[in-house]
Amino acid sequence: MFDGPLKGVRVLALENAIAGPYGSMIMADLGAEVIKIEPPEGELSRSFAGPKKAGESFYFLSFNKNKKSIVLDLMTPSGKRAFFDLVKISDVVWNNFRPGVMERLGLGYETLKKINPTIIYCSVSGYGSSGPYMHKPSYEIIVQGISGMLSVTGEPGRPPVRPGVPIADMAASLFGVIGVLSALHRRNIRGEGEKVEVALLDICVSLMTYLISYYFCSGDIPSPQGTGHRGVAPYGVFRAKDGYVALGLSWPRIADAIGAPWLKDDPRFKEVEERVKNQEELKRIIEEHLSKKEVSYWVKVFEEHDVAGGPVNNVKETCEDPQVLHRKMILSLKKDSEEIKVVGNPVKMEGIDDSEFTPPPSLGEHTSYVLKELLGYSDEDIERMRGEMESRKEERIKHTRRQI
């Protein structure tokens, strides 16, 4: 791996879909050696429907760059032995299985810390390892509902709307990485590993922070605001002649920018409390002025007046945005002689060289390397493992639940 800030940290990732792979990819982007341990049929997102590139699903390509992939059947003696041998020389075990799965596999934290007392074990799950919901199946849409997040998303008077990005899964991954980095720091002081636990429901409740505070302070239950804000105005998305612009906190400069300086002295809009109370009327007036010109015109005007504003891009426009490209947030990588484009690493610091980034791995691409180079296994050892995996194929497929 490249000489990033996490160079020298080895992560064993047992993961599926987003909540696991996104977090381990962050660590890989920061220079950690992430070894993705997959069953012989591959992890769940390799099978997702939708467009493919270089033989892999768009989902898998999204969350797995800079990783190594090895195939192990953890229900076989040789597969479990190889995993334990890797634990001995690794720093982090990362998983997003339902609570109890790792223990049933014989891979729980209490077992692993006997093998390596300095191991950091991070578990990302829906509800955590305790409480009345512990054993319930979870998906991010469900925890968004329970946390109240869906109740405040969308337009007033309309049904709840799921956020356009999987915020619960991705935020859980981020907090998991924060937990791992904190544990690595404390290990440098104490010399001991520990268990880190992150639950999607906990994360969603945490993200609801100011809305929950609003409820406790006012007694009023927050409701959907569209793209508006319950504490300031104008704020949100406004229609222009050929699209939409997003506006942040820039009053009274917005009034001057749109050619309506009289709004500043209108008693309905002079103070923030009155603007919030009359924000629908204020929005109507602002859109009346914005509708006369194209988005590109208003973006230039906003810049001239130091107004916090910008276009509401579609995905194609985002991928061509000059600031996005300047920050190298769209990368081109070679995989199996094909060029694939993936999202770049948002953390910019010394040692992170995206020219050395590697594409998401093919299933089992690094199995021989890891077993031979890191563990010193012989060809006979590896063939024995493959034989054990093959002998369990029918049983494994029978018990694999692919709910997609």
Catalytic residue list: 169
- Closest-CA residue to 123 (of 35, 221, 24, 5): 24
For residue 87, which phi and psi values (nearest 5 degrees)? -60, -35
> Distance between CA atoms of 357 and 345, rounded to whole angstroms?
10
| Alpha carbon 274 to chain centroid, angstroms | 38
HEC assignment per residue over 51-97: CEECCEEHHHHHCCCCEEEEECCCCCHHHHHHHHHHHHCCCEEEECC
Burial of residue 180 (number of CB atoms within 10 Å: 0-12, 13-18, 19+)? buried
Nearest to 356 by CA among 44, 26, 2: 2
In DSSP terms, 342 is beta-bridged to 331
Measured CA to CA in angstroms, residue 183 lies from 43, 91, 303, 342, 367 at distances of 27, 10, 43, 30, 28
Rounded distance between C-alpha atoms, residue 187 and residue 203, angstroms: 24
User: CA-CA distances (angstroms) from residue 155 to 211, 212, 229, 232?
Assistant: 16, 19, 12, 17
Q: For residue 313, which of 252, 376, 246 has the smallest C-alpha distance?
A: 246
| Residue 223 and residue 214 in contact, taking contact as beta carbons nearer than 8 Å | no
State the DSSP code for 152.
G
How many residues are listed for the chain in this entry?
A: 404
Q: Is 360 in contact with 67 (CB distance < 8 Å)?
A: yes
- Residue 154: both structure tokens together: 């969308």
Tokens of 93: 């075990």
Residue 50's SS3 state is coil
Tokens of 103: 């223990």
Residues 6+ apart with CB under 8 A from 305: 250, 253, 254, 256, 257
Count of Cβ atoms closer than 10 Å to residue 74 Cβ: 15
